[in-house]
Structure 1
Amino acid sequence: MDRPAPPVEPAPPAVPAPAVDPVHLPVRLAPGSGAGADRCVVVLHGFTSGPDSVRAWAEGIAAGGSHVSVPLLPGHGTRWQDLAATGADEIRGAVREAVDRELTRHRHVVVAGISMGGALALDAAAHRPVSAAIVVNPALRFASPLAPLAPALAPFVPSVAPIANDIADPDARELAYPRTPVAGVAAVGRIQRAARRALPRITAPVTVFRSARDAVVPAASHRTLLRGLRRAPVDVVPLPRSRHVATLDYDLPLLIERSRAAVEAATRA
């Protein structure tokens, strides 16, 4: 006599992916004129933030005659717990995929970024045939003496106070996570180490924007950058009225103007 088949248990409901905050959706911009049809600038946002923090910069570059792509980096734009579960290699890989995608579409690709995005831009410039790199206060070292301890602290201290809104302009606001995941800080440390190692490989021109005051990235990061760029032409542009998040600060017009000039110089051939 055949035994009845055991009842089939229903599969557990799928956990929906966390919704991306609409202000941080990826951005694609067409050039403001036909002059930039064969070039694209990939703009990378910083840690715990998103495309909104670099949108005005990206729009200014696009208005000067370039296609612009602003990807949302993995772990960002949703909740800080998602960033805590995101590894350095996943973030670095997403940047390289974004650059590779534009390299198939355009003759010239420029990578640009702020803070962690600046470190990622430099990392990409060392491993992809980009025409130039433009970085704003790139984070190659931590200001906090506790940050290097993040890998050991993360299991016991899941998050700490936010690091956003280091801005001189009192009317500006950076939309970022309300907490900083300590595991995410550990991932940034790995991104920094990879970027530092890669600096001597970069041969494309690098434009470095440096704010007069910066509570997030120390002067040691800037010194590390200049020492490491042994083969690349380097242009350092001071931002005298801005703090760390210069893409939302008083010197934004200068940042846009000089970024446009750097893109034009690197892609006119």
Structure 2
Amino acid sequence: MTTGQGSTAVLLIHGLGGTAYDLGVLQKALRNAGAITHVPTLPGHGTRPDDLVGMTAEAWLETLAQAYRQLVAEHATVHIAGMCMGALLALVLAHRVRHGIDHAQGRLALLATPIHIDGWSTPWYRDLRHAVYRIPGMAARMRVEEDEPFGIKNPLLRRIIKAKLARGDSFHYPWVPLACIRQVDRLRRWAKAAMPETRCETLVIHARDDEQTSLRSAETLQATLPRARTVVLENSYHMICVDNDREQVAAEVLGFFGFDPATAKRKRAATTG
């Protein structure tokens, strides 16, 4: 790992129930371009879904704040990028650390941010979860299963993901407790409150056909964040770092963070050739 005054690091944040896999080719592309990347495994993740029971948004934010402080101590510039719930965490983190550690030199990339849970595949009864939250113990016992299309528009990739989930591969949980969706709802409220005061330059990337969170989320971010730019993808569902537009996502994020996307591609070609 390269550290020092001139180095640039990127804190990458995965989504609910996920791992570094959520970031797809992005992490490797950043490394190939010369960035130092760090993807902390959020508490309750990377083991088994039951370990998410009782986890709180505060625990996830504290893990990320510690990682951010360590990166700031070692690198001249630290950027933050998050995917899905990780984007909510990234936004809240960027807002909170600006009151302590200076994030003025760092930028923020928000990928498929679920400001609104209103995509075309969300069930009609989604709003009933708020009533379930009020029943003691119920949210911890209820499961939210991963289901078709698994956030993937590409049919071949979707079949691969479906098979991995059926085998119980550790790249992503096949279900999460409803109690964790409650934590995501808390993060959504915090993110909405933080948006007007989050003044670092921000890149918003969202798929037009995102099945979990509609383009309205990107529009809300664009309208409320002081220094935002939005890129709309035309050939992906929710998992934009893995799906058809993954190369565009990587190129947009690299360019936004000040790296040359062509350099990353050349290095990747050299290592695979």
Compared with structure 1, are the counterparts of its residues 170 and 195 closer, same or farther at alpha carbon in structure 2 (3 Å cutoff)? same
Partner of residue 188, structure 2 = 192
Q: Please give the residue correspondences for 1:149-168 in structure 2 after superposition, counting only pairs within 5 Å.
A: 149=131, 151-152=133-134, 155-156=137-138, 157-162=141-146, 165-168=150-153
Aligned to 1:248: 242
Go from structure 1 to structure 2 and tell me whether the alpha carbon gap of 1:154 and 1:101 turns closer, same or farther (over 3 Å shift).
Answer: farther
Q: What is aligned with 2:197?
A: 201
Over 3 Å counting, the alpha-carbon distance change for 1:149 and 1:46 in structure 2 is farther
Aligned to 1:40: 9
1:137 matched to 2:131? The reply is no
State the shift of 1:260 in Å: 0.7
- How is 1:218-257 mapped onto 2 (pairs within 5 angstroms)? 218-229=214-225, 231=226, 233-257=227-251
Q: Deviation per CA, 1:171-203, whole angstroms, max 9, x where unpaired?
A: 222832122211111111111111111111211
Return closer, same or farther for 1:167/1:154 CA change in 2, 3 Å cut-off: farther
> Partner residue of 1:117?
86
Q: Give 1:66's match in structure 2, choosing from 12, 29, 35.
A: 35
The structure carrying a bigger helix percent of its residues is 2
Percent sequence identity over matched residues?
Answer: 23
Alignment match, 1:54: 23
1:148–1:226 CA distance, 2 compared to 1 (3 A): farther
SS of the equivalent of 2:241 reads helix
TM-score (norm 1): 0.79
Alpha carbons of 1:244 and 1:127: their partners in 2 closer, same or farther (altered >3 Å)? same
Structure 1 residue ranges (4+ consecutive) displaced by more than 3 angstroms after TM superposition:
34-37, 146-150
Q: Which residue of 2 aligns with 1:170?
A: 155
- Counterpart in the other structure of 1:4: none
The TM-score normalised by the length of structure 2 is 0.78
- The SS at the match of 2:188 is helix
In structure 1, the gaps of 5 or more residues are 1-29
Could you say if the C-alpha distance between residues 226 and 86 of structure 1 is closer, same or farther in structure 2, counting changes exceeding 3 Å? same
1:259 and 2:253 matched: yes
Aligned residues of 1:92 and 1:191 also touching (Cα < 8 A): no
Q: Report the 3-state secondary structure (helix = DSSP H, G, I; strand = E; otherwise coil) of the residue aligned with 2:12.
A: strand
Deviation at 1:127, TM superposition (A): 1.9
- Consecutive unaligned residues of structure 2, counting only runs of 5 or more, are 119-125, 166-170, 260-273
Check the 8 A contact 1:132/1:263 in 2, yes or no: yes
Letter in 2 for 1:258: E
3-state secondary structure, aligned to 1:213 = coil
Contact conserved, 2:205 with 2:218, CA < 8 A, in 1? no
Q: CA deviation at 1:222?
A: 2.3
Give the stretch that moved more between structures: 49-58 or 38-47: 49-58
Deviation of 1:39 after TM superposition, in Å, equals 0.8
Do 1:36 and 1:65's aligned partners in 2 also have CA atoms closer than 8 Å? no
